[in-house]
Structure 1
């Protein structure tokens, strides 16, 4: 049984050809933040016959199953990345939309401290920095 079949079954999803193909695209671009349109274009370029509506539906199912994480970085435009179980934050280049992942122990500690100073335990967070290359 292939790794993709096992991942789908482990996530509680039935193994179907569109799901396998879409998961394969995501796995072949593990650091990418792909829109449904990006996935669809990759399928078309590979000669696959999967509709855009199917891509949206499968990505939403993957999100519900915990296989991918959805981000809405700019203007409600959703992008998806494989959920690898690690926490990281993002920078988005406002010029070209490039997404850069980063981790910072200092930022993590500071966020926990800010929450604690106000009487809270930090349970989850999402940090997105919108950046522009220095001139």
Structure 2
């Protein structure tokens, strides 16, 4: 039986239409900002908390547009699957990597990242992002 990690993540989009990917310290894969949903916490509340802890962003939960629930193999925990509650967040605020975030990367929709991507980011979220912005691959 696959073990599941429940997370809330942001498809964070800047005014230029780029999306933000983050890499946690000691890992290779870039992924959406966000993190685990604590017991008793709503996905939107987890998203707001994680974006503040990881990037210093102040996001109102009302600004987050729910895009759906998606699953994929976890990038950093072998044998686990991530179950992601995904929200679109549009923000023009500067981000500063904090907590466990080592590196951030702004990615244009028509850009193919020459980086290692988490399975959920590569297989699900980036194609969805390109579809939302109607950008050919």
Q: TM-score, length-normalised on structure 2?
A: 0.22
- Relative contact order (C-alpha < 8 Å, sep 6+): which is higher? 2
Relative to total residues, which structure has the larger strand share, 1 or 2?
Answer: 2
Q: TM-score, length-normalised on structure 1?
A: 0.22
Relative to total residues, which structure has the larger helix share, 1 or 2?
Answer: 1
